[in-house]
Amino acid sequence: EMSPQERAFQERIDRGEKIEPKDWMPDGYRKTLIRQIGQHAHSEIVGQLPEGNWITRAPTLERKAILLAKVQDEAGHGLYLYCAAETLGVSRDELTMALLEGRMKYSSIFNYPTLTWADMGAVGWLVDGAAIMNQVPLQRTSYGPYARAMVRICKEESFHQRQGFDIMMKMAKGTEAQRKMAQNALDRFWFPALMMFGPSDKDSVHSAQSMAWRIKMNTNDELRQKFVDQTMPQIDYLGLTCPDPDIAWNADKGGYDFSEPDWSEFFDVLRGNGPCNADRMQARRKAWEDGAWVRDGLMAHAAKKSAQMAA
Ligand code: 3HC
């Protein structure tokens, strides 16, 4: 049973009103947002690692500059999102500690390695493509600071997606060795990209409540279907082959039928057993420890300044 306060809150959501930081909100709404926004922020930060891996090895100066800018954008997205989470009463340090202690997640996709330059294409095209599919609707999410952060993030993500497709074009239409490299990257990233949308609707614990609160705008399966429908013609355009042998156009539903990803692999990656989980967490812990002197210096400077002001 909803309390009158909860009912009034739900009615605001149903009318399409934005909820702002100082408004009353149910505990569960606040917790779910902190979980989702925090997880999203961590994904942006950890998401720098697989691409950061290729900055020093980009094939041309131009590709290097573009990749560097893209990875910097991800850092920026992480920072906006931590700020949005902070409006809910949790600090960035608390969120960081939760990540480092394994109490919060980041997207499963970043636990896969980037083995070749074509992977930079596949990541931009498929991973950022899947991210946009999920984030464009979130521009209309009920929590104001999250919705507004999404507007800028989505603009930058579409640039990222295009740069990834551009790399894929170059590789797919290049030499035979390049074409093979592009196909191999698609083969490895296809199913992990489909997993980004989360478990199938029947196993999605949060979807029903999150959609009622408009924290989520679509179910996981709806977005996965849209992603497949958008991406198949792009695979054809590249002259590559989808690694799913059972994928087929279904005229009745006006979309593709496709194989589900291996959900046991997905849950195993969530438990920390993906190919790169340990590396990613080690890199984040090292960054946190290596940055301690900067944080300490800033705090010491701020304390000295405020002592001077008081004097
Ligand atoms: N990776 C890791 N964990 C995942 C996941 C994934 N791909 N998909 C689902 N999960 C987790 C959920 O967090 C939940 O676990 P928890 O209860 O311990 O938090 C559990 O699996 C059950 O899934 P649900 O469907 O019930 O979870 P949600 O309702 O939260 O839906 C979601 C999952 C669709 C990913 C949703 O959280 C969401 O829309 N998040 C915002 C977008 C986001 O985080 N995107 C990150 C993508 S990467 C990115 O943006 C970086 C880029 O620049 C490329």
Structure ipTM: 0.97
Concatenating the DSSP letter of every residue in the chain gives ---HHHHHHHHHHHTTPPB-TTS---HHHHHHHHHHHHHHHHHHHHTHHHHHTTGGG-SSHHHHHHHHHHHHHHHHHHHHHHHHHHTTT--HHHHHHHHHTTSS---GGGGS---STHHHHHIIIIIHHHHHHHHHHHTT-SBHHHHHHHHHHHHHHHHHHHHHHHHHHHHHTS-HHHHHHHHHHHHHHHHHHHHTT-S-GGG-SSHHHHHHTTSSSS-HHHHHHHHHHHHHHHHHHHT---S-TT-EEETTTTEEE-PPP-HHHHHHIIIIISTTHHHHHHHHHHHHHHTHHHHHHHHHHHHHHHHHHH-
Q: Is the dihedral of CA 166, 168, 169, 170 positive or negative?
A: positive
Query: Whose CA is closest to atom 27 on ligand 1?
Result: 206
Q: pLDDT tens digits, the chain, 311 residues: what are they?
A: 889 999 999 999 999 999 999 999 999 999 999 999 999 999 999 999 999 999 999 999 999 999 999 999 999 999 999 999 999 999 999 999 999 999 999 999 999 999 999 999 999 999 999 999 999 999 999 999 999 999 999 999 999 999 999 999 999 999 999 999 999 999 999 999 999 999 999 999 999 999 999 999 999 999 999 999 999 999 999 999 999 999 999 999 999 999 999 999 999 999 999 999 999 999 999 999 999 999 999 999 999 999 999 88
Report the b/e string of 254-293 with b at 16+ CB within 10 A: eebebeebeeeebeebeeeebebbeebbeebeeeeeeeee
Distance from C-alpha of 196 to C-alpha of 129, rounded to nearest angstrom: 11
Cα–ligand 1 centroid distance for 55 (angstroms): 27
Query: Whose CA is closest to atom 21 on ligand 1?
Result: 198
Ligand 1 pocket test target in 40, 51, 152, 223 with most atoms within 8 Å of CB = 40
| pTM, entire model | 0.96
Q: Is the dihedral of CA 264, 266, 267, 271 positive or negative?
A: positive
Helix 92-100 to helix 277-290 angle, to the nearest 10 degrees?
A: 140
Query: Whose CA is closest to atom 28 on ligand 1?
Result: 206
For position 1, what pLDDT does the model report? Answer: 82
Ligand 1 atom index nearest CA of 196? 7
Contact 182, 156 (CB under 8 A): no
Ligand 1 atom index nearest CA of 210? 29
Cα–ligand 1 centroid distance for 39 (angstroms): 7
Ligand 1 pocket at CB < 6 A: 35-36, 39-40, 43-44, 47, 74, 77, 105, 107-108, 127-128, 131, 134, 157, 195-199, 204-207, 210, 216, 220, 270
For position 65, what pLDDT does the model report? Answer: 97
What six digits make up the tokens of 2? 């909803």
Cα–ligand 1 centroid distance for 198 (angstroms): 6
Cα-only R_g, the chain:
21
For position 311, what pLDDT does the model report? Answer: 82
